[in-house]
Structure formats: C-alpha cells, structure tokens
Amino acid sequence: MGKLFGTNGIRGKFGDELTVELAVKIALSIGTYFNGGEILVGFDGRVSSPILKRAVISGLLASGCNVAHAGMLPTPVLQFGVKYFKYDGGVMITASHNPPEYNGIKVIGPDGIEIPRREEEKIEEVFFENKIHRAAWNEVGRIKEEPNVIQAYIDEIIKQVNVRKIASRKFKVVVDPGNGVSSLTTPIVLKRIGCEVITINDVIDGKFPGRGPEPIPKVLGIVSKMVSSSNADLGVSLDGDGDRAIFTDEKGVTHWGDKSGAIIEKYLLQREGGGIIVTPVSSSKLIEEIAMKYNGEIIWTRVGSVTVSHKLKEVNGTLGIEENGGIFYPPHQLVRDGTMATLLMLEVLTHEGEGLSKIVDKLPRYYNYKDKIPCPHNLKKKVMEKMLLEVKCEEAVKIETIDGIKIWKDENKWVLIRPSGTEPIIRIYAEAKSNEEAKELVEKYKEKLRGILA
Ligand code: MG
C-alpha cells in the first residue's frame, strides 16, 4: 500500500506533490476515517494555505463530517482548540518550518496530538483502496465558524505559570515570529504577563522575507543585535507555525534547543522532585546528565515530535524535549508549543534571578557535529543492516537501535547513524567532550558508510 504521511504529516511542494485535487481526496479520506465527526480546521500563513484550507474543508464536508473553521493560527493553538472545545479531531494546513513553496496537512486526534502511525495507516487504506465515503446530497456536513480558539488559548496558557512573579521582573523580550503565525499569540501572551515586548519579523507573510521559517542560529543575527541594542533580557525566535522556539540570551548569544531544553528540564525536575523526561535518540547527553542529577528518568524515543507526544502520554511524563527547540509541557498540552516554551523560560529566569547567559554557562558542555551521505531509498535498509554487523565487532560501551544505530564509545561520546525518512541521505550525528572528537567520529563513520555503499 502507498504512503501519504511522513514524519510530520503530509508534506510537499504546493501544486506539484501537493495539489488541490490531491488535498480534496486526502480530506475525503480523513473525513471517512473520522466517520461524520466534528472537525476543527485551521491554517498557517503560507501563500497556498487559504486554497488548501478550502479544498480540505470541501473534502471533509463531502464525506459527511461537520467542520468548525478556526481560521489562521499556530499549530499548537489548533491542537489546544481540538482538546479544549472537545472536537472529534482537527486538521491543520501547515508546512511548519519548510521553505515557502511547501505546504502540508496534519491530522489531529481528539487528545490534541497528531494521530499515531497506526491511525495514519487507516487513512492511507481509505485513500489507496478507494474506500472513501461520499455523503449523499442531503447528508453532507455543515460548516460553522469557531472564532474563539486563540482567545481561549491565551486565557488558559498563562495559567500554567506564576504570572504575578514573572510580571514583577518586568522582563524586556524580543519576539521574532519569523513572519509566521506565532505573531497572533506569542507577543500578546507575553504582554499579558507584564513583559515589555519588542517584535521583529512580525508581519505574517507566506514568503517569509525576514529570515525564513526555520529559526536556526545562523539566520538570527538580527535578533541578537536587537537584544543587545535594546538591553533586552531575552530573545525568542519561533518557527513558521509556532511550535518550536529558539532563545537568545541577554548578551545576544543564541543557544540551540538542547541547551534551552536542559535548562527548563533542570528547573522542572527540581520543582517536581523528579519526573520522566522524553527525548529522541538524537538529543544531547546533556539531557540525560541533567535527568540523572535531579532525580529524573530519561526515555529515549525515535526521532519525531509525534512519537515524543505519544510516549509522554503513555508514561505520564514531566517534559518532552527536542534539540530543534521543541518543548512539550504536558500540564498545558502533550504537543510542542513555542509560546509555552517561552513562558517556561521566563519562569526559569524569574526563579534563577540571573541572565540566561549565566544559566547556560553552568551547564555541562558537550560538542556536536553532524554530516550526511547520499544513499538511495532502496539501499538504506541493506546499508544499515551491514553497518550494524560491522559495529557489533567494534569496541563500544553500548549499541542502541531505537532509531538508526547509536554507538556509545564511552559514557560521554556517541555517534548516531540514521537514514532520513524523507530524503535520499543517511545522517551521521556525533557528540563528545571536544569538537575535534565529535568531528573525528563523524568522519570515521562516514568512511565506513562509503565503504559499504561502494
Ligand atoms: Mg513547526
């Protein structure tokens, strides 16, 4: 059977891999799967989103589902809305941090999480085996507006932190939505809790003219300058659909998500006296070291936010962390949320009483290095099998195969070899106590892969 869903829903270039016709058929399949339920539909600020939204709504209605139209909003806000207003499911039109020509369709279950793989397969079965339910003319769904999702979200999310304490610090925060839809929530939430907010790239624009939709440190120079020149306490840059947040400290230095995640982790484990932390195998050892030190337990998962969410739900976890800036805080919701990450970071700053740069300085230090090697999809399985046989003969403390092959050379040094789910490449990640060691590891395993491929 064919596959529609990737690691993060259905994604593709608009008009090419993801056409309007395809979107209608996908929506008919999603609607058949939901079997006449009430579905909340939202969309991000991409140029093609209003078109795809209409196609998706048409498909859902034609399959007999009722649709509540939530309008333009961040992905975590739609997810919150599905759960809060008790819809049977949700559909979000977004391609998150992908380039502007892309778009995508995410299917949300009644718990607010994207449906797990086994449920996606049910939709694929409907789609590929033509089991679509087409409602009769007098049984098609009805559409209504649901304009209150953003307001409900803002009112509820601020209850997750101590507003009075945070407000007393009068933080100045630079917010950079990167022309994405977090413009509709993050600056407003921060003002509500007494922060002075300076915004940049805050005009929603599907061409993402500011710095592109993905908040990686090399494109955040303007945030860094703005934080320094305005004497701000913090900078926060969100991805296109607002579920990931990357932070810049008061000195203008931007930190990757493993560091900000570890800082929030440390705070929560101390506050709760322990807990379960869920994170993908590609994350830094830093996450584990903090967990060990503060009475936490760590659960490593496959790479992908949907996996982290469902694992958090299963084990009743305290926090989920992705190195790319994804923070999952279950008391709010089980999915990553850039605004929630920002509120937690402000709570940490309030609690610690010092700047983010000093808090980062106190963390154990690790160095990461990444590379990739081309490998056709059809060879990936064979190459990985061969690799596993080879590494089993090596000296290693531990070999894990949760996702790809992770080889621990010693307790602070590992390399992960993992085929990409979407691209014809195999990724190689390494971490060590020095940059040279990490780079050396990547080079060594790249050579091995080359050998196998030859
Ligand atoms: Mg995203």
Residues 117-154: pLDDT tens digits? 999 999 999 999 999 999 999 999 999 999 999 999 99
Q: Which two tokens stand for residue 446?
A: 């790249």
Reading the block at residue 360, the tokens are: 């980062």
| DSSP H helical ranges for 213-284 | 221-229, 257-272
Distance 8 CA to ligand 1 centre (A): 9
Largest CA distance in the chain: 68
Ligand 1 center–CA 368 separation, angstroms: 23
Task: Find the 241 Cα to ligand 1 centroid distance in Å.
Answer: 5
Collect residues with CB below 5 Å from ion ligand 1.
96, 239, 241, 243
Mean local confidence (pLDDT), 231-240? 98
| Structural domains of the chain sorted by starting position, each given as residue range(s) with its CATH number in brackets | 10-147 (3.40.120.10), 153-361 (3.40.120.10), 367-453 (3.30.310.50)
Q: For 48, which DSSP code?
A: T
Give CA–CA dist 11/448, Å, rounded. 32
- Whether pTM > 0.75 for this model: the answer is yes
Ligand 1 geometric centre to CA of 297 (Å): 27
Helix, strand, coil percentages (3-state) for the chain, rounded to 5, are 40, 25, 35
Q: How far is the CA of 60 from the centre of ligand 1 (A)?
A: 24
- Give the pLDDT band of residue 421 (cuts 50, 70, 90): confident
What distance in angstroms lies between residue 107's CA and the mean position of ligand 1's atoms? Answer: 14
How many CA atoms are closer than 13 Å to the CA of 344, on its beta-carbon side?
32
Which pLDDT band, with edges at 50, 70 and 90, does 172 fall under?
A: very high
pLDDT score for 3: 86
Question: Are β-strands 405-410 and 413-419 bridged in parallel, bridged antiparallel, or unpaired?
Answer: antiparallel
When pLDDT is averaged across residues 349-356 and rounded to a whole number, the result is 97
What does the angle CA 197 – CA 241 – CA 64 come to, to the nearest 5 degrees? 135
Residue 1: per-residue pLDDT = 65
Q: How far is the CA of 277 from the centre of ligand 1 (A)?
A: 21
Catalytic residues: 96
Look at strands 10-13 and 66-72 and give their pairing. Answer: unpaired
Q: How far is the CA of 5 from the centre of ligand 1 (A)?
A: 16
Our CA dihedral for 420, 425, 430, 436, rounded to 10 degrees, sits at: -160
Can you tell me the distance from the alpha carbon of 340 to that of 79, in angstroms, rounded to the nearest whole number?
13
> What angle (nearest 5°) sits at the alpha carbon of residue 305, between those of residues 300 and 310?
70
Q: How does pLDDT run across 41-55, given as a tens digit for each residue?
A: 999 999 999 999 999
- Average pLDDT (261-278) is 98
Average pLDDT, the chain: 96
- Are 322 and 283 a contacting pair, CB within 8 Å? yes
- Rounded to whole angstroms, the Cα distance separating 343 from 360 reads 17
The DSSP-derived string for 62-80 is HTT-EEEEEEE--HHHHHH
